[in-house]
Structure 1
Amino acid sequence: MDQSTRPTSDGADGATGGRPRGTPRRRLAAVAALAVVPWTVIRIHGELTLVFPWGFLNTNPVELIDTYTLLVVAGGGLPRNPELLPLSILFYAVALGSAAAALVDREDPRLTAGLLVLAGVAHLGVAHAFSHRLNYTPIPFGALLMPAVAWWYYWPSLRALLLAPVPE
């Protein structure tokens, strides 16, 4: 077997189909953990607002506003491009469902990885939209963690998807 066809130690030679790293439970735990990490931390005049997929947590006064109330009932307080917040949540929720499907061997890791990257990119737009407000400093914590989780656990699958030969 010559050097060009020898499988690599990480199984990324294409013959493995780009299997993701870790066990399905570990991948699901990593994706689920993104729900409890603030996706964006917004500093406003020395106070913090934490943006989670399930709501906003203000520190002064301590107040939790769930996402449904913020988007539907209140109808305000959202940055420019307000559709990016529910879009990033939707991408994340489908990625979480896809990662959960791995427990019964039904996950397409390329879908999970792609959705995590899309959720992160969409939420970067949310953080950027907050940056246009005076004295708002957004730090896109989770928006950077989502592509990091996709890279760590699903890079072989992403590489197989992105670098797959195009049929002629």
Structure 2
Amino acid sequence: MAGTALRLPRATPVRVLVAVFSCGLVPWSVQTFADSGVPFLRFAWGGLSFTPVLYARTLIEYLALSGSPLVLPWVVATGCWVLAIASASLAFLDREDPRVTAGLLVLAGAVNASVAVRFGIQPLRTGYPVGTLALWGVAAWRYRAWTRA
């Protein structure tokens, strides 16, 4: 149908909070190593490894154990996402500014993309910033809802 606009769900406080929170449920990046081919899934809360067995480690554990320069940006991205959840929660009090929520999600996605890219430029490694797409998709939805208000 020519001329029809894409209809997005109405941005109710519950939908906004669920959408923003859901961004933390998808892997933020899928990281692979050429020697094993087995992926490592990095989430906002921590990581999930499949070698040699299924193993989960929280972001707090990575902070304590790792000297990797990628851990700090990972924490920053997670912090931006947590602040976006707090901002989205303000919708229940009719105090949310969708631009703030969207901006925090854009920042979280950009920092997350930088982590995946910096991981991927190392020899025999690849990083796919899957979570960035989710974060930016929800940010676009929030911003679009604001421009239509």
Residue number in structure 1 paired with 2:81:
92
Q: CA deviation at 1:133?
A: 1.9
Question: Contact 1:21/1:152 (CA < 8 Å) preserved in 2?
Answer: no
**Does residue 15 of structure 2 align to residue 23 of structure 1?**
no
Question: Contact 1:21/1:154 (CA < 8 Å) preserved in 2?
Answer: no
**Does residue 52 of structure 2 align to residue 48 of structure 1?**
no
Task: Select 1:130's aligned residue among 102, 113, 119.
Answer: 119
**Does residue 62 of structure 2 align to residue 70 of structure 1?**
yes
Residue number in structure 2 paired with 1:146:
135
Question: How high is the sequence identity, in percent, across the aligned residues?
Answer: 36
Unpaired runs of at least 5, structure 1: 1-8, 11-19, 161-168
TM-score by length of 2: 0.85
- CA RMSD, 1 decimal: 2.1
Cα distance in 2 for residues equivalent to 1:99 and 1:27: 6
Unpaired runs of at least 5, structure 2: none
Q: CA deviation at 1:81?
A: 4.8
Cα distance in 1 for residues equivalent to 2:31 and 2:23: 17
Residue number in structure 2 paired with 1:83:
72
Q: Deviations over 1:136-155 (max 9, x none)?
A: 11111011210111112322
Question: Contact 1:113/1:150 (CA < 8 Å) preserved in 2?
Answer: yes
Residue number in structure 2 paired with 1:101:
90
Cα distance in 2 for residues equivalent to 1:90 and 1:66: 14
Q: How many residues align?
A: 139
Cα distance in 1 for residues equivalent to 2:10 and 2:113: 26
Residue number in structure 1 paired with 2:104:
115
**Is the helix fraction higher in 1 or 2?**
2
